[in-house]
Structure 1
Amino acid sequence: MVKLPSLLLFIFAFVFFFTHSFSRSITSPQPHLLKSFTPKSNQSGLLNARSCSYTVIIKTSCSSVAYTRDKVSIAFGDAYGNEVYVKRLDDPYSGTFERCSTDTFQIKGPCTRDICYLYLLRSGSDGWKPESVKIYGTYTKTVTYYYNVYLPNGVWYGVNECRRASLSADM
């Protein structure tokens, strides 16, 4: 006969192990290099094209270079082909992307549904290490992607969690 305290301890250990093992397997995707990516140019002059506002908050790592003069571009979008692209976020004269800093950008672009990919492009010789990028907008859920790596020079680098959009989904 099993004693009640031993049985309760066994059940507790089983539940703890079971839930703990699942929580470890759910991790945020790691940023990666994207060899063939060409951002869409935002066509704000199109008739009947809706324009939405986004707030992009980029936190620069405390282990990044003190400041960077590198050019930084961003592209993000949804599984339906809606994409926001900004060719140059940085402003080397304003202290953008300094070590341990947080920079906030107000961006207008095509309306997206839930953002499922984000890529950054760094061009220059200084180097830059973003810690995280948070985006929220009028019609999207807030998303945060964690980088915490030095971006390679001259290539798009980021996260893509998109699944193909369903053909039956309403647009």
Structure 2
Amino acid sequence: MKQEYVSRQEKILVKNELGKDLYLISGKWGRIGDKLSLYSIDGDLLVEVKQIVLSLFPKFDIYTQGKKIGSITKHRGLKDVYFKVTPLNWIVTGDFYNHNYTVNCKGKLIMEMTKAYTSFGDYYALHIPESQHAPLCLCIALIVDNLTLTRLPQTEKKRVNRAIQLI
């Protein structure tokens, strides 16, 4: 998923490590009521994320099959920020500015995201042990990335060039 498409909020194709198209993401965020939609490559709507609070600590509601399954919220801890996905009890922590973080549930790894550098460009490498979590994890990665990038100085934003790749 190329950063230039994310920042322009264009349609994004998500590929696996072999280059096979897996998902299509469309939508926009930044205003209350905006939504992000993730589709299977066959065109089935898998996840929708709608922004319902616009502030320093925004909130997004998560829907699958038209039914609300939870919310993603940003929080401030003693040292750093973190994100909660409720009621799934998922906690997103790590070094968000360097794109190295994890999603855990009661000590169990849900997703690990790291930045990978290749001759074709910079990518996000997502390790998701249970494939059924992939659609929701992709949405979390987009939201966290967007909220992190909106807090970077303009000179840093221009230098960021990345994509998402599932492992």
Q: Tell me, yes or no, whether TM beats 0.5.
A: no
| Greater Rg over alpha carbons, structure | 1
Normalising by structure 1, report the TM-score: 0.26
- Higher percent of residues as strand: 2
Normalising by structure 2, report the TM-score: 0.27
- Higher percent of residues as helix: 2
